[in-house]
């Protein structure tokens, strides 16, 4: 794959272009850290956006849903979608209310979502979904059976036509606002796991797995 993502009219960043990037490695890092994607597509009577779990399989984003979902049936022949993943890194408090912002990293990908039909690739996607959220969990759980596999639709979107946008650092107040005397700075934010909570229905006592105790996002 080329080192850079494909630049098109759809991926051109017009506002704050200095925050934009088309580096494939950076896109992969953001996708690998994120957990929820917002997927936009045309359902026939307008555009809808659905939050979905996802995973990255090499140079593809894979998504999944129940075969009973009406909207998934429309992807049989492929359908254009947009996939957006955003990481929020901090709240930026400027002296001027108008200059408040956020520090973030985001990827927006455009492409045709197609249904994954091959058994091996579908199984690889299931593994990717689980290990993307909790690395190491797939091997420490029962894998999907035939009924569960057949009841699930897996979609694949190529990571090709996409753009990255990143904001980092302190506030950017206008010179005229720098001496107003209000506190300004950044409130850093990060996803922090809490203490594991045992399932009360678990029949056997078992030590908390190391991958749970040491859990953190990449």
Is the CB of residue 122 less than 8 Å from the CB of residue 154?
Answer: yes
> Domain count of the chain?
1
Instruction: Say if 38 falls within a structural domain.
Output: yes
Q: In this predicted structure, what is the pLDDT of residue 209?
A: 96
Instruction: Say if 194 falls within a structural domain.
Output: no
Instruction: Kindly report the backbone phi and psi dihedral angles of residue 63, in degrees, each rounded to the nearest multiple of 5, phi listed first.
Output: -125, 160
Taking the CB of residue 60, how many other CB atoms lie within 10 A of it?
Answer: 20
Instruction: Say if 205 falls within a structural domain.
Output: no
Q: In this predicted structure, what is the pLDDT of residue 214?
A: 95
Q: In this predicted structure, what is the pLDDT of residue 39?
A: 96
Instruction: Say if 77 falls within a structural domain.
Output: yes
Instruction: Kindly report the backbone phi and psi dihedral angles of residue 133, in degrees, each rounded to the nearest multiple of 5, phi listed first.
Output: -80, -45
CATH at residue 65: 2.30.110.10
Instruction: Say if 32 falls within a structural domain.
Output: yes
Nearest alpha-carbon partner for 167 in 80, 217, 101, 81: 101
* DSSP one-letter string for 58-89: TTEEEEEEETT-GGGGGGTT-EEEEEEEEEEE
Measured distance between the N- and C-terminal CA atoms of the chain, rounded to whole angstroms: 23
Question: What sign results for the dihedral spanned by CA atoms 115, 119, 125, 130?
Answer: positive
DSSP conformational letter for 124: H
Listed as ranges, residues in the chain with pLDDT below 50 are none
Q: In this predicted structure, what is the pLDDT of residue 120?
A: 93
Residue 63 structural domain: 17-173
Q: In this predicted structure, what is the pLDDT of residue 164?
A: 97
Classified as helix, coil or strand, 118 is: coil
Distances (CA, A) of 144 to 81, 119, 136, 148: 27, 12, 16, 6
Instruction: Say if 191 falls within a structural domain.
Output: no
129, two tokens: 């979904």
* DSSP one-letter string for 105-124: EEEEEEEEEEE---HHHHHH
**Assign residue 200 a region: left if phi > 0, alpha if psi is -120 to 50, beta otherwise?**
alpha
Instruction: Say if 213 falls within a structural domain.
Output: no
Q: In this predicted structure, what is the pLDDT of residue 44?
A: 77
Is the CB of residue 2 less than 8 Å from the CB of residue 143?
Answer: no
81 - beta bridge partners? 111
């Amino acid at each position: 794959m080329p080192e850079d993502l494909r630049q098109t009219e759809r991926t051109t960043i017009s506002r704050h272009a200095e925050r934009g990037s088309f580096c494939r490695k950076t896109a992969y890092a953001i996708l690998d850290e994120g957990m929820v994607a917002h997927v936009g597509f045309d359902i026939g009577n307008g555009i809808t956006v659905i939050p979905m779990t996802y995973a990255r399989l090499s140079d593809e984003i894979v998504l999944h849903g129940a075969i009973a979902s009406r909207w998934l049936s429309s992807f049989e022949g492929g359908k254009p979608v947009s996939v957006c993943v955003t990481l929020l890194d901090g709240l930026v408090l400027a002296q001027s209310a108008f200059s408040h912002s956020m520090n973030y990293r985001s990827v927006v990908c455009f492409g045709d979502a197609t249904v994954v039909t091959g058994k091996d690739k579908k199984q690889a996607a299931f593994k990717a979904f689980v290990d993307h959220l909790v690395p190491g969990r797939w091997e420490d759980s029962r894998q999907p059976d035939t009924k569960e596999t057949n009841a699930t639709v897996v979609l694949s979107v190529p990571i090709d036509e996409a753009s990255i946008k990143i904001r980092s650092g302190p506030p950017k107040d206008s010179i005229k606002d720098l001496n107003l005397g209000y506190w300004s700075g950044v409130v850093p934010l990060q996803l922090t796991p809490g203490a594991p909570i045992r399932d009360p229905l678990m029949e056997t006592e078992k030590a908390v797995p190391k991958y749970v105790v040491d859990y953190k996002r990449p």
